[in-house]
Amino acid sequence: MENVIENIKSRRSIRKYKEEQIKDEELFTILDSAKHAPSGGNSQTWQFTVVQNKEILLELNRYIKEAFEKLEVDENTYKSKKAGKVASKKDDYNFYYNAPTLIIVSNESNYSNAMADSACAIENMLLAANYLELGACWINQLTWFDNDENVRKLLTRLGISEKHKVCGSICIGYIDGIKPEKKVLKENAVTIIR
């Protein structure tokens, strides 16, 4: 049990990767962990689409940059979207941090538990990646822009159903550099009523 807790506590979002592709057995372990996540009524309606083709990843990055260009922001816009719009203007912007593997998690658009189920699967993948000493990071941009015309066309080309929405994605690879130190946790996040 201590190893499970330590794995949870030691997980970090990694944003710098080596070019080397992860091993197939590592990928399959991560995907198997995702499929073992809980889902409402054991529906398992999720789909995991793995993209390791560099040209397709770069094409997707181009469409995300274009989607950010079209995004209108105001004082009510989520702060990470605002930051993403600013970052996307840089020539070297890459929404998946140049990781060699991107896993897109989609689920049925009309299924009310789609996001919750997919989030459980994504967390399982993040923890499995950490256990395997790989870097991984939750990526939001495809969730924000899965209805953008160019992004959607490419998602469809990748085999993601038109009836699915992107609930999240993760990038995975070998860590380039040092894993970040322990993060500072916010206080007063827990209320216990007895």
Which tens digits make up the pLDDT trace of 15-69? Answer: 999 999 999 999 999 999 999 999 999 999 999 999 999 999 999 999 999 999 9
Q: How far is CA 152 from CA 109, 112, 158, in A?
A: 14, 21, 10
- Percent of the chain at pLDDT exceeding 90: 93
Q: Write out the E strands in 42-133.
A: 47-51, 101-108
State both tokens at 45: 């309606």
Question: Amino acid identity, residue 109?
Answer: S
pTM: 0.95
Q: How far is CA 109 from CA 8, 68, 106, 125, in A?
A: 30, 23, 9, 22
List pLDDT tens digits, range 93-129.
999 999 999 999 999 999 999 999 999 999 999 999 9
pLDDT band at 182 (very low <50, low <70, confident <90, very high): confident
Angle at 125 between CA 17 and CA 148, to 5 degrees: 75
Sign of the Cα pseudo-torsion (66, 112, 30, 48, in order): negative
Domain boundaries, the chain: 2-171
Q: Determine the CATH number of domain 2-171.
A: 3.40.109.10
Report whether pLDDT(8) > 70. Answer: yes
State both tokens at 18: 């080596």
Report whether pLDDT(2) > 90. Answer: no
